[in-house]
Chain A
Amino acid sequence: MQADPLDGTSELVRLVTCGSVDDGKSTLIGRLLYDTKQIFADQLEHVEETSRRRGDGYVNLALLTDGLRAEREQGITIDVAYRAFTTPRRRFQLADAPGHVQYTRNMVTGASTADLAIILVDARHGVVEQTRRHASISALLGIRHLLVAVNKMDLVGYDESRFRAVADALAELGARLEAPDMVAIPIAALHGDNVAERSEAMPWYDGPTLLEHLETVEIGGDRNLAEGRFPVQWVIRPMSAEHPDYRGYAGRVAGGVWRAGDEVVVLPSGRRSRVAAVETLDGPVAAAGPPMSVTIRLEDDLDVARGDMLAHAGAPPTVTRRLDATVCWMSERPLVPGARYAVKHTTRMVRAAVDEVVDRLDLETLEHLGGADRLELNDIGTVRLRLSGPLAVDAYRQSRATGCFIIVDEATNDTVGAGIVVEATPD
């Protein structure tokens, strides 16, 4: 427990969990919540009672995590759920992506904001197609840290050689995906082995428990401090007696460290100025990095509006009307060449026409399947888009926040796709 509960200075770590149905994901999450004492007496009572009624024969911690009525009735999970838990050092935000229908769509949603992915594997089955899918989506979405929980070790007699075999297969997968950090941990979520408590049944394992790993993995370095990027969200112009001439550009730092004096270029116009001040409600700050929400004032009175991007003049993003992007399709209505959509990139909306589906990806074999005439729901592929106006973009692998966009169907207003800029190509 935190010594001082009012001391709000833990580090926030965002997680996504994924696994095929029955790998034990709900049990693991329930176990994490339980072992880190996030579960209140009334919640536990409720779970005990429901377990009894269902005839589970044990307190089914998996029930702690199931949400909607439809899910309870069918005993399945249908949508991404978000949960919080804390340890003395860290505050975790967990996106739980269910593992079957709508799979890719849910996983992409959960993974898009994650620092670390927990991928569940059943020790009896080892690396299966789904594992490859989960790992490749995680890697595609730029998650640097993959933790593979090899679960149900009790069902393989806590056997070291079984774990080693799975870990070896994982290492090979990690190498293929160029995953910078991938670890495998043998656990039994149902009994708590190596989740928060070291397992007595697996004395041969000398690595960290799952929770130890979550608490210590270094994520601070993942922030993009290199490319200075600041999409303007909102222009603050009080025009009041007190602040007659104030003009501040409010937004969230997408990259780089921002200070007064920085030389900036405003995109897409290309006009230049300098940062006069970086401010918050509490006054000017010496520096601000991602993902801080701040207000930037410029030395010159330029015409800057929502949707413009301020960038450090030395290394600006690419301004383009063409996107070559990997798109995850999230709608029942397929994406087809010739279709038109709206695209939201940072704070800017433009229209887009699909020129070509260049490539479709087989997420299980990681093979490129070549050109296609469409992307169906849950497909991932490379698409060439022509834009109605310029966007200032970076390759996603360089800068997550300025390399991603969503696709909106203007007829239904639905979000139908998530896109990642592969290569920022000027037109």
Chain B
Amino acid sequence: MTTLTHLDALESEAVHVMREVAAELERPVLLFSGGKDSIVLLRLAEKAFRPGGFPFPVMHVDTGHNFPEVLAFRDRRVAELGERLIVASVQESIDCGRVVEETGPRASRNRLQTTTLLDAIEEHGFDAAIGGARRDEERARAKERIFSFRDDFGQWEPRAQRPEVWDLYNGRIRRGEHVRVFPISNWTELDVWQYIAREGLEIPPIYFAHEREVFARDGMLYAASEHVELADGEEAFLASVRYRTVGDMTCTGAVPSEARTLTEVVHEIAASRVTERGQTRADDRFTEAAMEDRKRIGYF
């Protein structure tokens, strides 16, 4: 038998987690954003359940400010897999008055997603939401369980986490509660890229360097679009950029890059001196505990 590589070991752990959720919970859902982490999740679900179908639907929380390239990719990928896609729309949450749209140049729909997600979980009666969060992303995540328990209000209570011993996950919940499950908790950003390369997975074109109209704000580059107002002194210009994460256009920063192939992208990332979040997520930079706060109220 050949020796096990770290990707084999991580994959096997994640597939095991997927199958445990499917077996122990009644109505799981897999959250798919079209980003690289959730692309890996889809692959892992194939590994776990083929030649059968997925024992859960795939759901996207659409802020209405997503990159069109990513939405096109999302639809195509789910269709190729022959699985069912549910789109939960932040625009609808706004239209029906569940949330109020922020205004001004720094308006973002990122925070509104939480309500849309929790509403969708309730509407469909989901008791488990499988997500692609990783422990290397942020310090609060380093302590989160793979099966992360949420109360009736969707809240995470870091001090009351269930011990997670061996690979024996406890998926028991009461009505109205749900678990967030993170099969790739133990993966790093580099592991994800290596896996994408190994499996030959397609990713949306915005991960590769391309020409785009951007503007600079807080030391980062953002896409100029109909969804953002430029503040005084800000000006749009053309640059060769790529994205390290895929999210809401209004608060996901691009990095200047000439990397046009997967190998080039990964070389850039391996040499990078800034974390994925530090480089591309505006919302985390406001307060030190930003992430922990949002998680407590049910952010993914």
CB neighbours (8 Å) of A368 from chain B are none
- A281:B50 contact, CB within 8 angstroms: yes
Cα A6 to Cα B159 with chains together (Å): 37
CB neighbours (8 Å) of A106 from chain B are 163
Tell me whether B153 is interfacial, beta carbon within 8 Å: no
* Chain B interface, number of residues (Cβ within 8 angstroms): 71
CB neighbours (8 Å) of B266 from chain A are 5-6
- A4-19 vs B, CB cutoff 8 Å, 1 = contact: the mask equals 0111111110000000
- B142:A238 contact, CB within 8 angstroms: no
Within 122-148 of B, Cβ neighbours of A (below 8 Å) are at 135-136, 139-140, 142-143
CB neighbours (8 Å) of B20 from chain A are 233, 347
The contact of A81 among B7, B143, B168, by CB within 8 Å, is B143
- B165:A243 contact, CB within 8 angstroms: no
Write the chain A residue with the least CB distance to B187.
A84
Cα A195 to Cα B170 with chains together (Å): 37
- A79:B165 contact, CB within 8 angstroms: no
The contact of B135 among A11, A82, A108, A252, by CB within 8 Å, is A82
The contact of B143 among A80, A289, A413, by CB within 8 Å, is A80
Tell me whether B241 is interfacial, beta carbon within 8 Å: no
Write the chain B residue with the least CB distance to A96.
B142
- B168:A91 contact, CB within 8 angstroms: no
Write the chain B residue with the least CB distance to A252.
B16
Tell me whether A146 is interfacial, beta carbon within 8 Å: no
Say which one of B29-37, B62-70, B190-198, B246-254 lies at the interface with A: B190-198
Tell me whether A113 is interfacial, beta carbon within 8 Å: yes
The contact of B170 among A80, A91, A413, by CB within 8 Å, is A413
Q: What is the interface of chain B mostly: helix, strand, loop, or mixed?
A: helix
- A404:B168 contact, CB within 8 angstroms: yes
Write the chain A residue with the least CB distance to B262.
A6
- B10:A12 contact, CB within 8 angstroms: yes
- A84:B135 contact, CB within 8 angstroms: yes
Tell me whether B108 is interfacial, beta carbon within 8 Å: no
- Give, as a whole number of angstroms, the nearest-CB distance from A412 to chain B: 9
CB neighbours (8 Å) of B10 from chain A are 12
Say which one of B86-94, B203-211, B232-240, B271-279 lies at the interface with A: B271-279
Q: Give the A-binding residues of B (Cβ under 8 A).
A: 1, 3-13, 15-16, 19-20, 22-23, 46-53, 135-136, 139-140, 142-143, 158-159, 161-168, 170, 172-174, 185-186, 188, 190-191, 193-195, 197-198, 262-263, 266-267, 269-270, 272-275, 278-279, 288-289, 292
**Given A108-B163, A109-B165, A404-B166; 13 other pairs, CB 8 A cutoff:** A2-B270, A42-B278, A42-B279, A67-B140, A68-B140, A79-B143, A93-B186, A234-B22, A252-B15, A291-B13, A330-B163, A344-B168, A406-B168
Q: Can you list 29 A-B pairs with a CB-CB distance of less than 8 A?
A: A5-B194, A6-B266, A8-B6, A8-B195, A9-B6, A11-B6, A40-B272, A67-B142, A72-B289, A79-B143, A83-B142, A86-B188, A105-B163, A113-B167, A234-B48, A237-B52, A238-B53, A252-B12, A281-B46, A281-B47, A291-B9, A291-B12, A293-B13, A330-B163, A401-B166, A405-B168, A406-B170, A413-B170, A415-B164
